[in-house]
Structure 1
Amino acid sequence: MSEIRALLREDLQGRTPYGAPQLEVPVALNTNESSYDVPAVVVQTILERVAAVAPGLNRYPDREFAQLRTALASYLTETTGVTLTADHLWAGNGSNEVLSHLVQAFGGQGRTALGFTPSYSMHPIISRGVGTTWVDGLRGAPSGIFDLDLETAVTQARETQPDLVFLCSPNNPTGTALSLEVVKAVYDAAPHAIVVVDEAYAEFARPGTPSATTLLEGRDRLVVTRTMSKAFAFAGVRLGYLAASPELTDLLRLVRLPYHLSSVTQAVALAALEHADTMLGMIKVIKAERDRLVEGVAALGLAPVPSDANFVLVGGLADAGQTWQALLDQGVLVRDVGIAHHLRITAGTPEETDAVLAALAALDPSHRQEPS
């Protein structure tokens, strides 16, 4: 071990950083980005908004990002039917920073966070990064190996008695959504925990899938996180946000860095929210390609997990790593999420769907998992 590595905190020794391959390939479907460029009308508004703030970049940005919080509250109110104000909203440089604020405020040494694996890999990374003990809860329900039913979740919440609980709906990497009954039951079973429902992919959910924002009233420990990276096709901007009780969002000011959202970031996000209908207009096409992926891989004899997100977890592979490489050899980059016999594939353009289905069809039959 090198001298500098030996100085690293003991609880970080041996850990690996988060990261997905960033490779130049014809078809990149590994990071759940949108395959569609930002529309020209939005680009023009972005340029105008940035030009307006540029002369004042010698000054710090609005520390409270008040205009942005108001716009985000209006967007959520319109799309979820839940009346929210700026005081209910918080934002950061991507939802990961928002999650980090939550863990900094309510986690830390001597505290415990519970999540249900497999789920978003950044939840444990962020938690452990500030010394929070992470508990890998288990999924599994009669309806499917990746579902989380009420009884399973409640039992683990009661046994752990955590300080933080992470729920993901739709879940990454499985694409499965949670019922609100599960959220309510976990909230009640962990009476001293901040319960975080990560809804990064909520806009892609199938009809009838409710948002946990509808549960916020009267539940001061409940938090719903969102992002503009996915449905808004804004991954390069890094803007995530949450909705919670005004008292909870106020406490996050204790841990945020000063002026953490730049004037440019605020201006660009406001431009996108001004054109929310245009930005979200791509969702219908992406959902159609997701559903075509499900049908297409099933027709090839593989086992797709029904998805409420902009990706599909595909099972039925003999060796996920070998299949990942075989697809890459054909110019198609997907995600190996570390689940045996499964790969995750982002829903892209119709042409990208054609390409990934053709690449899967071209695989040798040895890539298929033998029936048990």
Structure 2
Amino acid sequence: MPILGLAPSSEPPKPAHFDIEKVIRPNILALHPYRCARDDYQEGILLDANENSLGHSIQTSAQIPSELQSVLEANLHRYPDPSHDEIKSRIAQLRSLPDEKHVFLGVGSDEVIDLIMRVCVAPAREKILITPPTYGMYSVCAQVNDIGIVRCNLNLSGSEGEGGERGRFSLLVDDIKAAVSADPSIKLIFLCSPGNPTGTTISLQSLRSLLEYEPFKGIVIVDEAYIDFAGEGASAVSLIKDYSNLCVMQTLSKSFGLAAIRLGVALAQPPLIQVLTNTKAPYNISTPTAHLALAALEPGAIQGMRDKISTLLTSRDTLKESLSKLAHLGVGPTIGGNNANFLVVPILNTQTGAADNTRANKVYKTLAEEKVAEESCVVVRYRGGEPGCEGCLRMTIGSEEENKTLLKRLESVLEAM
């Protein structure tokens, strides 16, 4: 059954063993998308969508932050553009993809995660594969959708200094291949690169090996929320042209500093993008979000984003060095690849030198809850329950002043224990 809205292609599929029409659930392939009022016309006297023609009723004196007052000037009484092709075109250009047909927009990456599960994986019968420690929403969305979960841990025992295919938190490709060979009901493989909470990138060699593995007929999803902090050549987007069984997720939340607008991105070949488009809610991206996204994708704003990344990377190295000076208080060396805008640090038992979940959790709570003089509380993230992350705290790279406060407070809390 052809994908509705997609022109037939004479090109042979790459890789040859992948057939997207056998991955997508039959009811989704047969779906006729809801045609909304703005699919056909977006200009003129618009009397087709049962909107309030007199406009919104929010007073300019309302308790709305001053920085958001300009939003009231948008046509908030009109439904937004259902396609946002200009945003997609700018993203395609930024990520060196051919056109907007390779781009899907979601309400954060979480909508993309949920949607791709719903279009590909049959509830109560089929499964996804994840690689702990990893982003928790893969499991949450699977449970919500009544989808089975197969877990193949990352390399938890590799040396921090090895790197490459054998380093700590690298992908155990052979284990994943064995899992999908043993269980044909696995439809999706979710990978995180750089990982959350590992900060480690997945090598393109490992990805190619999975994408070309003939027994796996499903789709590999690579979550690249932190990719702009990882340096040149790390992104899997470069593989999209050769692999129709690859979907790369990105977001404007991290490097672009736009977490509040909730804009996630899926990048893939047009067939998968078309299926996601056919299935999404009609107006999933709001007009205020679209305006802000377009502004963030202007050349000047992109350069500003890159400048801030450079500053954060320098701050990351400085914070890492400063944390090493607290080793005598039980702060272990940072773990993982350190390729994102955070560091993961084990808190050790000063008597045994082992990672200590109890001590780490106490440090986490004390930092967040006990205020000292005029200093602010400092909220980091306790990750000790994740495989391979015993005793670990995850620390986002803050401003220079925030990092100084973190170090001062952390030293004080550890000294008091």
**TM-score, with length taken from structure 1:** 0.79
Taking a change above 3 Å as real, the CA distance of residues 292 and 258 of structure 1, as seen in their structure-2 partners, is same
Which amino acid is the alignment partner of residue 405 of structure 2?
A: A
SS of match in other structure, 2:261: coil
Please state whether the residue corresponding to 2:281 is helix, strand or coil: coil
Farther-moved stretch of structure 1 (142-151 vs 99-108): 142-151
The one-letter code matched in structure 1 to 2:198 is: T
- Taking the aligned partners of 1:126 and 1:276, their CA distance within structure 2 comes to 32
Tell me the TM-score normalised to structure 2 length. 0.71
1:142 to 158, 172, 183: 158
1:294 is aligned with what amino acid?
Answer: K
Superposed displacement of residue 245, structure 1: 0.6
Aligned to 1:112: 127
Q: Name the structure 2 match of 1:324.
A: 364
Per the alignment, residue 355 of structure 1 pairs with: 405
Q: Name the CA shift for 1:366/1:184 in 2 (closer, same or farther; >3 Å).
A: farther
Describe the SS at the equivalent of 1:224: strand
Which range moves more in the overlay, 353-362 or 85-94?
353-362
* Residues 283-317 of structure 1 deviation map (CA, whole Å, 9 limit, x = unaligned): 11111122222222222222212310000111143
Counterpart in 1 of 2:63?
none
Whichever residue aligns with residue 242 of structure 1, its letter is A
Distance in structure 2 (CA, Å) of the matches to 1:359 and 1:160: 49
Q: Distance in 2 between matches of 1:76 and 1:296?
A: 34
**Alpha-carbon offset, residue 233 of structure 1:** 0.5
Question: Which of residues 171, 174, 179 is equivalent to 1:151?
Answer: 174
In 1, Cα distance between equivalents of 2:287 and 2:239: 32
5+ unaligned residues in a row in structure 2: which ranges? 1-65, 160-166, 349-355, 372-376
Q: How does 1:186-197 map to 2 (within 5 A)?
A: 186-189=210-213, 191-197=216-222
1:285 is matched by which residue type in structure 2?
T
Deviations 1:55-74 (A, max 9, x none): 3x333222112111112111
The CA deviation at 1:185 is 1.5
Report if the CA contact (8 A) 2:104-2:277 is conserved: no
Q: Distance in 2 between matches of 1:51 and 1:278?
A: 26
CA RMSD after TM alignment = 2.3
Identify if the C-alpha distance between structure 1 residues 366 and 166 changes in structure 2 by more than 3 Å, giving closer, same or farther.
farther
- Match among 72, 77, 82 for residue 91 of structure 2: 72
After TM superposition, give the deviation of residue 160 of structure 1 in Å: 3.9
Higher relative contact order (CA 8 A, sep 6+): 1
Gaps of 5+ in 1: 1-43, 78-82, 368-372
What residue in structure 2 maps to residue 315 of structure 1? 346
- SS of 1:61's partner is coil
Give, in whole Å, the separation in 2 of the partners of 1:51 and 1:280. 30
Aligned-partner Cα distance in 2 for 1:175–1:156: 24
1:97 correspondence with 2:97: no
Q: Which moved more, 1:193-202 or 1:130-139?
A: 130-139
- Name the structure 2 match of 1:346: 396
Whether the 8 Å contact between 2:363 and 2:414 is mirrored in structure 1 is no
Q: Could you tell me how far apart the structure 1 residues matched to 2:413 and 2:169 are? A: 26
Query: What is the alpha-carbon distance in structure 2 between the residues aligned to residue 295 and residue 159 of structure 1?
Result: 45
| Alignment counterpart, residue 223 of structure 2, candidates 180, 198, 201 | 198
Is this contact kept in 1: 2:158–2:169, CA < 8 A?
no
- What is the count of residue pairs matched by the alignment? 315
Whole-angstrom CA distance in 2 between matches of 1:325 and 1:114 = 33
Task: Name the SS of the counterpart of 1:96 in structure 2.
Answer: helix
Residue-by-residue CA offset, 1:194-215 (whole Å, 9 max, x unaligned):
110000000001x455210111
